Structure 1
Amino acid sequence: MPWFRPVPPTPELLKAQVRAFSRQVPMMYALVLVNTIALSATHLDNSPPLLTLGFPGLLGVISLVRLVTWWRARGTTIDQAGAKRMLRQTLVFAGVLGLGFTLWAFSLFPYGDAFTKAHVVFYMAITAIGCVFCLMHMRAAAFLLTAIVVGPIAVFLLASGNPVLTAIGFNMALVAIAMLVILLISYRDFSNLVESQRGLEERQAEIQSLSDDYLRMANLDGLTGLPNRRQFFSRLQRVTDQAAAEGRRFAVGVIDLDGFKPVNDAYGHAVGDRVLVEAGERLGRNHGQPLFVARLGGDEYGLIIEADLAPEALQRLGADLCAALREPYCFPGVTAQVSGSVGFAVYPQAATAPNLLYERADYALYHAKQNIRGAAVVFSADHETAIKTAGLIEQALRHADMDTEFRLAFQPLVDIRSERTVGFEALARWTSPTLGVVSPGDFVPVAERSGLIARMSPVLLSWALDAAKTWPEDQRLSFNLSVRDIASPEQIARIIEIIELSGVDPGRIDLEVTETAVMRDFDQAARSLAALKALGVRIALDDFGAGYSSLSYVHRLPIDKLKIDGSFMRGLGAADKRRAIVKTILDLCRNLGLDCVVEGVEEPEQLVLLRPLGCRVVQGFLFARPMPGEAVAGYLAAERGEADAVELRSAG
């Protein structure tokens, strides 16, 4: 029968019973021992020693052992097999001890007067009731004890023939029945409570699992499985707090992949995603230092190095990381090549706040990409000075009066075959009332990073077009567009409107963009350049060779001209590899039908080396430095005069 099942049907109910018994069973055995000692004491004078000392002593020792066993079980973890064993033993001992104490009590009943006999009846009744309630969480043991103890004594009293004892027996039977009903109800409620608690625990486990999943999703990058930007900054805050409390140093790094955009564009996003995953795995290798690696977004990764490393050690670590990223990425049918640049900032030298540490590392990365791409840069005092200078420049730019502080200078582009100027590039010049003359190399990057260039470009373009209206029709105007310009459809629409209203033939205008500007958002850049091309202007790719020099841009964008970066001209020699690179670019332009301009020509020797390569148009200090707009007419007149004089001498 299920009522007498010794072991509960579910593990949860089993564990609940053991927990309850570990508190109640010691109390039951203590009750039995105290009541047994009291009954033995009242029969010492009128009962045999075997009944007052021997038999109850044996039963008492067994009860004491069981009491100690269950007492030790309190607060300890018992496995399921052990719990089943203890419950089965409880059932057995309930039957054995119940039978033993019942027989002992019946053996004592004939001895003594009416009071001692009443004590036996009371002992049987009260002890049984107490034990049954202590066993209420184990239905089988409670029923067994009731049947062995209460049943016989009730029958004995009912059959005694004594009206008082018969009434007591009847009352005991009623109490036993009521007690069993209460026990069944209590056991049912106990089982339901355990089942409800189990269901609640399961729901809590599900909720916890969902919470863990959401937490994992919120803190892990879905593509690479690395910690994401949120987790990176959370950990950076904790590490910074610990370092401040313990007075130790650590470093923050920011890594950006060089050349990832061309790979993504050439091979598709699937290959690009695999590159990002493998790049994360390479960064997570054992590089000899405790690295925490996170993907911050796009092709940018963050590092936290919890070690006190000198700048030289950070440089070596950065070189190791960059070398790992430079290894070819080999996938079925595709071999991709990218590299990485990394910037480091050390706590507390660079900064003490987490966000400033990251910004310092990001600035070091920016410096690496601008100057020594594919290498590591550690933020230094010089960089701190540069940041402060950039901050002063930005503040001055924000309050600058364009009309009074800015002007344009124009540098000629010269056809070295005809030795005639074919156009001018407009270059911005700024004299701040607080900072004095500020180099374009200083204020243009600040203007681009701060977004102020979007306000400056339309004004400068308008000035350049006003100047170009005064030039001969065969003179072209070159004007540089920034990242912000080509990334904004609204800004492109404004530039088109300015050109249309200027009265300058769009066919005389060259708009220059850099590879960096194109890479920020290739699709938007392509749309912007297509809109400008449709207007009739020509598009030049500036600083070619200094960046990624991806032929995919030349192929996929509406480009009319390449401008070879002036860095190739510095120290150019006949046997220099840079000369071979310049020749290759010139040949490429001829094969694709593109114009080509070589920048940075400052020495006659450079011109001697360029002529045999097929170079035609150059730009540099060899011919003229950038000049004010009002000086252009005189420059062109002097050039024409010299050309006329040469022609006259030749004719003479």
Structure 2
Amino acid sequence: MIRRIFLDSHTLYASTASGLSRSQFEAFARQLPLLYLILVVNSFAVAFTHVGTAPAWLAIYAPAAMCSACILRLFVWLGRRKYLASMSDAQVAARLKNTVLLIALLGIIFTGWGLLLFPYGDPYARAHVAFYMSITVIGCIFCLMHMRTAALLLTAIVIVPFTVFFSLTHNLVLIAIAINVVLVSIAMIIILLTYYRDFARLVESQRALEAKQSELQHLSDENLRLANLDSLTGLPNRRRFLADLDALFRSTKDGQAGFAVGVIDLDGFKQVNDVYGHGAGDRVLEEVGRRLLQFSAPTLSLARLGGDEFGLLVRDVTDRQQLLDLGASICSALQVPYAWQGTTARLSGSLGFAMSPSTGRSPAQLFEHADYALYFAKEHRRGGTTIFSREHEEQIRELGQVDQALRHADLEREMTLHFQPIVDVSSQRVISYEALARWNSPSLGLIPPSLFIKVAERSGFIHALSVKLLCKALAEMRAWDPATRIAFNLSAHDIGSAEAVGNIVDIVTKSGIAPGRLTFEVTETALIQDFEQATSSLHALKNLGVRISLDDFGTGYSSLTCIHRLPLDKVKIDRGFLKDIDSDATAQNVVRSIVELCRSLKLTCVVEGVESGVQVSVLRGLGCTVMQGFYFGHPAPFGSRGPVQQNFA
């Protein structure tokens, strides 16, 4: 530590010293030409007054040589001003050292020349020599105030011989002049030392200020870098991505190659966090960042937008196939298993693209369209790539119309419930009914549940809709046979917060309906959005006395790893497994496995989407006894007396 402090101090001192030398050199570059000019002019004047009285070599040739050397040095220093900034510290130090030596040499030469010239001429010429030496040294001291060593050396070289020489003349006037020059020189030296000290402090303060400004600029640059960087993956963050998108949009002109905005979302990442913890999730995100960086290129920039969402900016896009090929490569890279500490997880990535300028008139619209393409990919092409098209634009327009109609709807009057039977084929009777929402909009007409439920979930309106429909279902149940049970669907928003669940509990409690008559159905996709909160919510509902059913089993990611952690009573096998169930051996094996799993966990297994007697026969052979579908009855409204119990052969 001490050694480091010493090195830092030495570095700071060296930096300050080099800064002082450079500042001295800069001052020299401005003032030394003036010094040489003073020497030339004063020497020429003295030489001129001694022509004819002093020898030619002393009055003409010697001063001519000395003045020529000074003029040469004058032009050298004038030229150095141009390349001063490009000189290194070592070059500056060498130039200063040479200058000090040269000034000392010039001081000796000019002092010797003046003293040799003194004996010639009349008293006025001799007085001129004394005046020349005194005024010249004072002028030179002024020109050398930024270079203490040179100024002191020149003063000593001139004043000492000058004082001794004129003191030995025994001429009171010359002695007085010598004493006067000494006193003035002493005053000049004091002023010089004070000025030099202040100059050195000023240079040091300036260098310290520059160093502080440099440090502040470095910190500012670092803060700016961190503000635009995702610390986990090392990729640019959402802020930087949107800024780059805006800049790219503004720089793209008509006739140039277009660009595309891409949004990637990981499929199944939520399960990694829920099952293995957030530390494992971070490792997966780091690996995703590394894999995406493999695709980085001058025409492709990447960013982490937040969570498990990543962004792409693809420049010089010529056609859709280019994006599809890129998307296929990225999705393929993301599907490679992720391994850490002896654990392996399999994920996929869905990718949505929007191309400029064909599908976006602003950066915000391009990003929104890319996000919608991603949403479409996750619903219909999970693990694949979707490029935003006019078809999607029409869907957005339709969703927008439904969203506005839903926000202004009279839910009490426009929303109704239909009920579809759930049948136990072994006892040939209906054991429950599923409540299904129907909406007849005054402006749009009949809107399918698959559309308005999706809109309500995307707009955050779904909980208000669930509350209204639950109140309707409970109101109808009051007039029915107390033995009649219903199943009611809850969304991710309904179980995603303690407040929403508390609201549902209050509604059921105040309704007077026995909680045991209710079964709340939740989908796997609703659970994986926040598994811990969803589990807590289901336990709260279970404590109320209702039953819990896991809907669309087999389509999500929590199936086998999380089912044992949930307070379930039923599992509903997704209708997707029933397609070609009579001939598809794989589908039969999956259904048989789910039935066995439910039996071992003591859960009721319900198969939905049954539409034919052949399916019923095959399913019964696989061990299924509870079924639902058009074969047993279409959803329909019931009168005030409720449903009539039926038997099914």
Aligned partners of 2:257 and 2:318 also within 8 Å: no
Identify the match of residue 23 of structure 2 among 4, 16, 24: 16
Determine the C-alpha separation between the residues in 1 that align with 2:283 and 2:579: 39
- The equivalent residue for 2:163 is 154
The alpha-carbon distance between structure 1 residues 416 and 61, as it changes in their structure 2 partners (threshold 3 A), is farther
Residues 149-192 of structure 1 deviation map (CA, whole Å, 9 limit, x = unaligned): 23322333343333332332222112111110010000100111
Contact 1:410/1:426, CA 8 A, preserved across alignment: yes
Deviations 1:599-648 (A, max 9, x none): 222233322322211111222122211101229846x35x35xx6xx8xx
Matched, 1:82 2:91: yes
Q: 527-536 or 410-419: which moved more?
A: 410-419
Q: 1:143-542, aligned counterparts within 5 Å?
A: 143-244=152-253, 247-286=256-295, 290-542=299-551
SS of the equivalent of 1:275 reads: helix
Structure 1 residue 501 displacement after superposition: 2.2
The structural deviation recorded for 1:576 is 4.5
Matching residue of 2:39:
32
CA distance in 1, matches of 2:93, 2:261: 57
* AA matched with 2:491: S
Match of 1:93 in 2: 102
Secondary structure of the equivalent of 1:294? strand
TM-score (norm 2): 0.93
AA paired with 1:462? C
CA contact (8 A) 1:95 1:148 kept: yes
Structure 2 residue corresponding to 1:124, chosen from 133, 147, 172: 133
Give the structure 1 partner of residue 56 of structure 2.
Answer: 49
In the TM superposition, structure 1's runs of 4+ consecutive aligned residues that sit over 4 Å from their partners are 244-248, 631-634
How far off is 1:586 after superposition?
1.9
Residue from 620, 629, 632 that aligns with 1:620: 629
Contact 1:125–1:172 (8 Å) recurs in 2: yes
1:286 deviates by 3.0
Matches within 5 A, 1:595-610: 595-610=604-619
Give the letter aligned to residue 201 of structure 2.
N
Provide the C-alpha distance between the structure 2 equivalents of 1:44 and 1:375, rounded to a whole number of angstroms. Answer: 102
CA distance in 1, matches of 2:60, 2:481: 134
C-alpha spacing 1:575/1:454, structure 2 compared with 1 (3 Å): closer
Number of the residue aligned with 2:575? 566
Q: 1:368 to 1:45 in 2, by over 3 A?
A: same
**How big is the shift at 1:244?**
4.6
Helix, strand or coil at the partner of 1:35: helix
Aligned AA for 1:102? T
Unaligned runs of at least 5 residues, structure 1: 1-6, 647-652
How far, CA to CA, are the matches of 1:242 and 1:464 in structure 2?
57
- Cα displacement (A) at 1:224: 1.8
Letter matched to residue 155 of structure 1: V
Q: CA deviation at 1:279?
A: 0.5
Separation (CA, whole Å) in 1 of partners of 2:51 and 2:280: 96
Whether the aligned pair in 1 keeps the contact of 2:235 and 2:304 (CA below 8 Å) is yes
1:58 aligned onto 2:65 = yes
Of 362-371 and 546-555, the range deviating more from structure 2: 546-555
CA root-mean-square deviation: 2.2
C-alpha distance in 2 between matches for 1:37 and 1:563:
114
What is the aligned partner in structure 2 of residue 650 from structure 1? none
CA contact (8 A) 2:553 2:572 kept: yes
CA change 1:151–1:289 in 2 (3 A) is: closer
In the alignment, the residues of structure 2 paired with residue 249 and residue 53 of structure 1 have an alpha-carbon distance, to the nearest angstrom, of: 81
Structure 2: distance between partners of 1:87 and 1:429: 94
Contact 2:549 2:571 in 1 (8 A): yes
Structure 1 position 510, deviation (Å):
1.0
Contact 2:274 2:532 in 1 (8 A): no
Cα distance in 2, alignment partners of residues 113 and 181 from structure 1: 36
Counterpart amino acid of 2:39?
A: V
Indicate conservation of the 8 Å contact 1:284/1:291, yes or no.
Answer: no
Supply the distance in 2 between the matched residues of 1:135 and 1:308 (Cα, whole angstroms): 66
- What SS does the corresponding residue of 2:317 show, helix, strand or coil? coil
Q: Deviations over 1:495-527 (max 9, x none)?
A: 111112223221121101112211222221111
Is the contact made by 1:410 and 1:632 (CA closer than 8 Å) also made in structure 2? no
Alignment partners' CA distance in 2, 1:540 and 1:436: 32
**Contact 2:229–2:235 (CA under 8 A) maintained in structure 1:** yes
C-alpha offsets along residues 567-625 of structure 1, whole Å, 9 cap, x if unaligned? 22234342343332222222221221111222222233322322211111222122211
Are the structure 2 counterparts of residues 350 and 268 from structure 1 closer, same or farther at C-alpha, using a change threshold of 3 Å? same
Contact 1:263 1:337 in 2 (8 A): no
Change (3 A) 1:508 1:309: farther
Q: Which amino acid aligns with 2:63?
A: P
1:289–1:123 Cα change, 3 Å = closer
Paired residue type of 1:421 = V
Q: 1:70 to 1:580 in 2, by over 3 A?
A: farther
Letter aligned with residue 76 of structure 2 = T
For residues 120-165 of structure 1, what are the alpha-carbon distances to aligned partners after superposition, in whole Å with 9 as ceiling and x for unaligned? 2332222222221221111111001011123322333343333332
| Counterpart residue type for residue 367 of structure 1 | F
Amino acid at match of 1:456: L
Letter in 1 for 2:151: A
Q: Distance in 2 between matches of 1:351 and 1:374?
A: 24
Structure 2, unpaired ranges of 5+: 1-13
Quote the Cα distance in structure 2 between the aligned partners of 1:610 and 1:49.
133
Q: Deviations over 1:533-574 (max 9, x none)?
A: 001111111112222243222121212222122222234342
SS at match of 1:630: coil
Post-superposition shift, 1:479?
0.6
Query: Which string of whole-angstrom CA distances, capped at 9 and with x for unpartnered residues, describes residues 330-363 of structure 1?
Result: 2222222211111111122221322222211111
| Preserved contact between residue 518 and residue 547 of structure 2 (Cα < 8 Å) | yes
1:73 aligns with 2:80: yes
Go from structure 1 to structure 2 and tell me whether the alpha carbon gap of 1:114 and 1:288 turns closer, same or farther (over 3 Å shift).
Answer: closer
CA deviation vs aligned residue, 1:76-110 (integer Å, no higher than 9, x gap): 32222212211110111011111011111222222
Q: Deviations over 1:24-72 (max 9, x none)?
A: 2233223323333333333334333322332223323433343333333
